[in-house]
């Protein structure tokens, strides 16, 4: 959990920037988005497999016609 304390003479804007930076570094929001909906293990496996296939497939280059 991100925790920030207001320093002496620090503005609210800088405090908010520090808090947002800590939240981004701790990946809290990414985890919340990931857990927003339940994904069945079989569906998650299928998605990962499809992504792996997309990533590993090389683009087909066409040869010039002579």
pLDDT of residue 60: 66
| The model's pTM | 0.52
Model confidence at 65, pLDDT cuts 50, 70, 90, reads confident
Beta-carbon contacts of 28 under 8 Å, excluding residues fewer than 6 positions away, are 1, 2
For 11-46, write each residue's pLDDT tens digit. Answer: 999 999 999 999 999 998 888 998 899 999 999 999
């Amino acid at each position: 959990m991100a925790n920030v304390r207001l320093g002496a003479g620090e503005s609210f804007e800088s405090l908010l920037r520090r808090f947002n930076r800590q939240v981004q570094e701790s990946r809290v929001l990414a985890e919340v988005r990931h857990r927003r909906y339940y994904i069945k293990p079989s569906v998650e496996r299928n998605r990962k497999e499809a992504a792996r296939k997309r990533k590993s497939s090389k683009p087909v280059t066409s040869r010039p016609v002579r």
